[in-house]
Structure formats: structure tokens, C-alpha cells
């Protein structure tokens, strides 16, 4: 029996991502980051994500399938997309939360584009088009948007009760962004932290 399996039965030992993957290494803001799980076997989830019964509405449980063509992913798929960032693939991981939430930690490799920045009630069409062009790879010409060569976007927010990433996704779909280029990590920061995975502070 593998050493880590024996230690597991004893209630102590290393905490790998999977039985085959102890950690992964990526670049975040041009610095090396090792994504791994917290090794303290007694570690507990942060208080911000420990609440189980936030008022609904607005904090209602969201469906597994958010919209037709939008793929819902889990942690291992998120890690695959994070690795694609380092490989130079046309991928962007988007933290859709209000800025103050990011101070508690972000998924490594993510950029913060709050839900208000793509929402027509909170941002001008010029501001939205700027994000579509410069961050997502759309082309705006003669009043028309082309999404032919856009990036694959991976959205997350606080958890399966959080409406911030779904709002970003619905805003993009309404503008014509291809659904197959949008992924949704439904578990968000609550699931990420419940597994003890590495987080980073914004700008670090």
C-alpha cells in the first residue's frame, strides 16, 4: 500500500491534490506559485465560507447547468485551465466578485473583473466593449462585435449560492459571446477553500 494511503488511514500525512498529483506549479503575475492543498490535517475552512444559510433571495442555490452550452466544471478541470495559462493558451480565469471580496484570496492565475463591469445597468457600453476587446479578444468594428477568436473564459465567484459569476456569464451571452467559450466553476471560493487549495492576494 502506498505510504500516503497508510498515513491517511492513520488520520495524518501528506495532502495531495489527487493520488497522482501532489501539487502544480504555475506563474501568477510573473511569479512562481505552487498550487497545493494545506498540509495541516486539522485545517478548517475560513469563517467567510462557513455560513450555511445565507438569506435567499438573493443568496439562492444555483442550478448545476447555468445556460445552454456553458460547461460547469470542478476543481480538477479548473486546475487544467490554470495550467493552460502557463502554456500560453487563449484562456482567462475571471474572478467575478466585488473587489473587496478578493482581499480574502483569489484562485491563482485569475483576474478580477467584477460583475458590475459587464452589466449594462452599472457600466457603459464603451466600458463593456473595452473589456471585450482588450481582455477577452473580441473585435469591434463598424458597430459590430466579432467573437471569432475570443478566449475561453472560466468564471467563478464565492460558491453555488453566489450570483456574481452567473451575472457575468448571462451578460456575455446576451451580447453574443459563444457559450462553448464560457466555463463556470460553480463551487467557487467556498469549494476551493474547503479543499485547502492555494489562494493568492490580489496584485501579489
Model pLDDT, residue 30? 82
CA-to-CA distance for 70 and 128, rounded, in angstroms?
A: 21
Q: What's phi and psi for 175, nearest 5 deg?
A: -85, -10
Could you tell me the domains of the chain?
Answer: 44-194 (3.40.250.10)
pLDDT digits (tens, 9 = 90+) for 149-185: 999 999 999 999 999 999 999 999 999 999 999 999 9
Closest by CA to 79, choosing from 69, 91, 96, is 91
Model pLDDT, residue 10? 52
Look-up: residue for cell 464565492? Answer: 158
What is the pLDDT confidence band of residue 1, given thresholds at 50, 70 and 90? Answer: very low
The whole-model pTM stands at: 0.91
- DSSP 3-state assignment of 172? helix
Amino acid at each position: 500500500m502506498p505510504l500516503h494511503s497508510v498515513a491517511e488511514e492513520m488520520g495524518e500525512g501528506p495532502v495531495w491534490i489527487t493520488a497522482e498529483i501532489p501539487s502544480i506549479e504555475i506563474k501568477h503575475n510573473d511569479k512562481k506559485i505552487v498550487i497545493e492543498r494545506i498540509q495541516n490535517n486539522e485545517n478548517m475552512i475560513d469563517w467567510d465560507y462557513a455560513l450555511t444559510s445565507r438569506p435567499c433571495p438573493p443568496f439562492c442555490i444555483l442550478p448545476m447547468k447555468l445556460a445552454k452550452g456553458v460547461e460547469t466544471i470542478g476543481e480538477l478541470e479548473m486546475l487544467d485551465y490554470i495550467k493552460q495559462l502557463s502554456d500560453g493558451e487563449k484562456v482567462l480565469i475571471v474572478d467575478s466578485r466585488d473587489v473587496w471580496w478578493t482581499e480574502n484570496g483569489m484562485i491563482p492565475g485569475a483576474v478580477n473583473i467584477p460583475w458590475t463591469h459587464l452589466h449594462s445597468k452599472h457600466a457603459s457600453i464603451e466600458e463593456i466593449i473595452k473589456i471585450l476587446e482588450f481582455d477577452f479578444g473580441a473585435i469591434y468594428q463598424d458597430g459590430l462585435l466579432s467573437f471569432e477568436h475570443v478566449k475561453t473564459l472560466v468564471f467563478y465567484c464565492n460558491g453555488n449560492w453566489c450570483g456574481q459569476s452567473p451575472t457575468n456569464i448571462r451578460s456575455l451571452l446576451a451580447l453574443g459571446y459563444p457559450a462553448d467559450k464560457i466555463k463556470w466553476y460553480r463551487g467557487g471560493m467556498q469549494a476551493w477553500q474547503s479543499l485547502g487549495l492555494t489562494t493568492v492576494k490580489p496584485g501579489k
